[in-house]
Structure 1
Amino acid sequence: MKAVLKSRRSWLGKATGAGLGFLSGGPVGLVIGAVAGHLVDRVSDRSAAPGVVFRQDHIDGLFRLSGHLAKADGHISKEEIHEATRLMDKLRLEPSRRQQAIRFFNDGKAPLYRPDRDLYSLNASLSGLDKEVLLSLLLRLAYADKTLQPAEIRVLKRVCDVFGVSAIRYLWLKNRARVGYDWLSEPRILPETRFRLRRGKEGSAVQNAYSVLGLEPDVSDADLKITYRRRMSEFHPDKLHARGASVADINRAKEKAQTIQTAYNLLRKHRRGER
Structure 2
Amino acid sequence: MLWPSTVIGAGAGFALASIPGALLGALLGQAMDRRLQLHSWAHLREKLGGRPVLRDDEVLFVLLGRLAKSGGRVLEGHIQQARHEMQRLELDTAGRKKAIDAFNRGKAGREKVDGHLRRLKEQPHAAEGVLRACCRMAWAEGRAGREQKELLVSWGQQLGWSAAKVQALAGDYEPRKAALEGPGSYPEALRLLGVTAEAEPGQIKQAYRRLLSRHHPDKLQGSGASPARVREATERTRELHQAYSIIRKRHGF
TM value normalised by structure 1: 0.46
TM-score in terms of structure 2 length: 0.49
Structure number, greater radius of gyration: 2
